[in-house]
Amino acid sequence: MSSRNLTFSVGGVHMDEHKTLTEHIPIEKMPAPDVVYIPMSQHIGAPCNPTVAVGDTVKVGQIVGNSEAYISAAVHSSVSGSVKAIEKMYTADGRYCDCVVIENDKKDDAVEANALLNYKDVSMDEIIAFVKEKGIVGMGGAGFPLHAKLKGDDPVLDQCIINGAECEPFLTCDHRIMLEKTEEILEGLEIFAEFYNKEVSYMAIEENKPDAISKMEDVISENPKWSNLKVVGCQTKYPQGDSKRLAEAVLGRIVPQNGVTNDVGVFLTNVGTTLAFYEAIIEGRPSYERVITVSGSGISEPKNILVKIGTSVGDILDFCGGVKEEFVEIVCGGPMTGKSVFELTSPITKTTSGLLVFTKEEVNPGKESPCIRCSKCVDNCPANINPTDINAAILKDNVEICDELHADQCMECGICTFVCPAKRNLTASVKLAKREIRSRVKK
Ligand code: SF4
Ligand code: SF4
Residue 251's identity, in one-letter code, is L
Of 343, 310, 290, the closest CA to residue 94 belongs to 343
The residue ranking higher by pLDDT, 50 or 440, is 50
Ligand 2 center to 231 CA (angstroms): 38
Of 232, 268, 293, the closest CA to residue 21 belongs to 293
Question: Is pLDDT of 142 > 80?
Answer: no
- Rounded average pLDDT over 53-58: 98
Question: Is pLDDT of 154 > 90?
Answer: no
Residue minimizing CA distance to atom 2 of ligand 2: 420
Of 250, 139, 154, the closest CA to residue 188 belongs to 139
Which ligand is closest in space to the CA of residue 368?
A: 2
Of 62, 35, 33, 32, the closest CA to residue 50 belongs to 62
Question: Atom of ligand 1 at shortest distance to CA of 417?
Answer: 4
How many Å is the Cα radius of gyration of the chain? Answer: 21
- Rounded average pLDDT over 234-259: 95
Band of the pLDDT at 152, cuts 50, 70, 90?
A: confident
Question: Is pLDDT of 1 > 70?
Answer: no
Exposed/middle/buried for 199, CB within 10 Å: 0-12, 13-18, 19+? exposed
Q: What pLDDT score was predicted for residue 70?
A: 94
Band of the pLDDT at 32, cuts 50, 70, 90?
A: very high
Q: pLDDT, tens digit, for every residue of 346-392?
A: 999 999 999 999 999 898 778 999 999 999 999 999 999 999 999 99
Question: Is pLDDT of 441 > 90?
Answer: no
Under 8 Å CB-to-CB from 298, ≥6 apart: which residues? 323, 324, 326, 327, 328, 329, 330, 357, 358, 359
Cis upstream peptide for 31 (omega within 30°): no
Which ligand is closest in space to the CA of residue 12?
A: 1
Ligand 2 center to 203 CA (angstroms): 36
Q: What pLDDT score was predicted for residue 140?
A: 87
Sorted by where each starts, the structural domains of the chain and their CATH numbers stand as: 119-283 (3.40.50.11540), 376-442 (no CATH)
Band of the pLDDT at 327, cuts 50, 70, 90?
A: very high
- Cβ pair 48, 41 in contact under 8 A: yes
Residue 106, SS3 per DSSP: coil
CA angle 359–362–364, rounded 5-degree value: 95
- Rounded average pLDDT over 173-185: 98
DSSP 8-state class, residue 253: P
Question: Atom of ligand 2 at shortest distance to CA of 391?
Answer: 7
Query: If you write DSSP's letter for every residue of 133-156 in order, what string do you get?
Result: HTT-B-TTTT--BTHHHH--BTTB
Question: Is pLDDT of 153 > 70?
Answer: yes
Question: Is pLDDT of 2 > 80?
Answer: no
Q: Is 373 in the pocket of ligand 2 (CB under 6 A)?
A: yes
Question: Atom of ligand 1 at shortest distance to CA of 411?
Answer: 7
- Rounded average pLDDT over 392-415: 96
Residue minimizing CA distance to atom 4 of ligand 2: 374
Query: If you write DSSP's letter for every residue of 164-199 in order, what string do you get?
Result: E---STT--HHHHHHHHSHHHHHHHHHHHHHHH-SS
How high is the mean pLDDT of the chain?
96
Ligand 1 center to 156 CA (angstroms): 30
Which of 430, 432, 435 to probe ligand 1 with, by most ligand atoms within 8 A of CB?
Answer: 430
Question: Is pLDDT of 159 > 70?
Answer: yes
- Rounded average pLDDT over 153-169: 93
Q: What pLDDT score was predicted for residue 61?
A: 98
User: What are the phi and psi torsion angles at 175 (to 5°)?
Assistant: -55, -50
- Rounded average pLDDT over 308-328: 97
Q: Is 385 in the pocket of ligand 2 (CB under 6 A)?
A: no
Q: What pLDDT score was predicted for residue 81?
A: 98
Q: What percent of the chain has pLDDT over 90?
A: 93
Question: Atom of ligand 1 at shortest distance to CA of 383?
Answer: 7
Q: What pLDDT score was predicted for residue 151?
A: 83
Which of 374, 379, 417 to probe ligand 2 with, by most ligand atoms within 8 A of CB?
Answer: 374
Q: What pLDDT score was predicted for residue 270?
A: 96
Residues with CB under 6 A from ligand 1: 381-383, 385, 387, 410-416, 426-427, 430
Which of 427, 431, 435 to probe ligand 1 with, by most ligand atoms within 8 A of CB?
Answer: 427
Q: Is 372 in the pocket of ligand 2 (CB under 6 A)?
A: yes
Q: Is 392 in the pocket of ligand 2 (CB under 6 A)?
A: no
The mean-pLDDT minimum among 143-157, 218-232, 252-266, 307-321 falls in 143-157
Ligand 2 center to 377 CA (angstroms): 6
127 sits in which H/E element? helix 124-133
Band of the pLDDT at 318, cuts 50, 70, 90?
A: very high
Q: Is 430 in the pocket of ligand 2 (CB under 6 A)?
A: no
Ligand 2 center to 25 CA (angstroms): 38
pTM (predicted TM-score): 0.96
Residue 85 Cα distances to 61, 135, 372, angstroms: 18, 22, 53
Residue 401 Cα distances to 36, 374, 407, 432, angstroms: 46, 21, 9, 13
- Rounded average pLDDT over 190-217: 97
Q: What pLDDT score was predicted for residue 443?
A: 59
